[in-house]
Structure 1
């Protein structure tokens, strides 16, 4: 897998998250992303879910005028890791995924 291929897929996921991705399930987004791609494992489920969740976290942050520090504290994730998750530079740990899900579902 080339870096360019993965970067392209990640940009597609981010665009989906901004549009119809917020209304689709993780499985539906995966199917859309992998529709024309021969390599199914280009981006992991955790990476796709993290991108969608981070979009929701940032939307909640903006809607509620929360600071990065407040969001970081709520999630229990340091600000550098949070930025890496948002930029898809880091695959989330299972604990980080749980924190993201809980934040999005409880706000």
Structure 2
């Protein structure tokens, strides 16, 4: 897979998260992404979920006026790892996904 293909997919996911993705389930977003792209293996389900969760984390951060450091501490994930997760540069570890889910579900 080329970097450009993956970058394009990640931008699509972010646009979905900002728009109708707020009203769709994770599974629906995955189906939309995979429907639009013949190669289903370009972005893993975990990467899609991490991008959607990071969008929600950033929204909570903005609403609550929290710093990057505060978010990092609450999630117990380094700031650089959070940035990589948000940009789709890193596949989230299972503990990172759990932390993101718990944080998002608490708001």
Measure how far apart 1:23 and its partner are.
1.2
Unaligned runs of 5+ in 1: none
Runs of 4+, deviation exceeding 3 Å: none
Per the alignment, residue 68 of structure 2 pairs with 68
Equivalent-residue separation in structure 2 for 1:83 and 1:16 (angstroms)? 19
RMSD: 0.8
With normalisation by structure 1, the TM-score equals 0.96
SS in 2 for 1:66: coil
With normalisation by structure 2, the TM-score equals 0.96
Equivalent-residue separation in structure 1 for 2:36 and 2:104 (angstroms)? 30
Number of aligned positions between the proteins? 107
Measure how far apart 1:22 and its partner are.
1.3
Equivalent-residue separation in structure 1 for 2:10 and 2:48 (angstroms)? 8
Unaligned runs of 5+ in 2: none
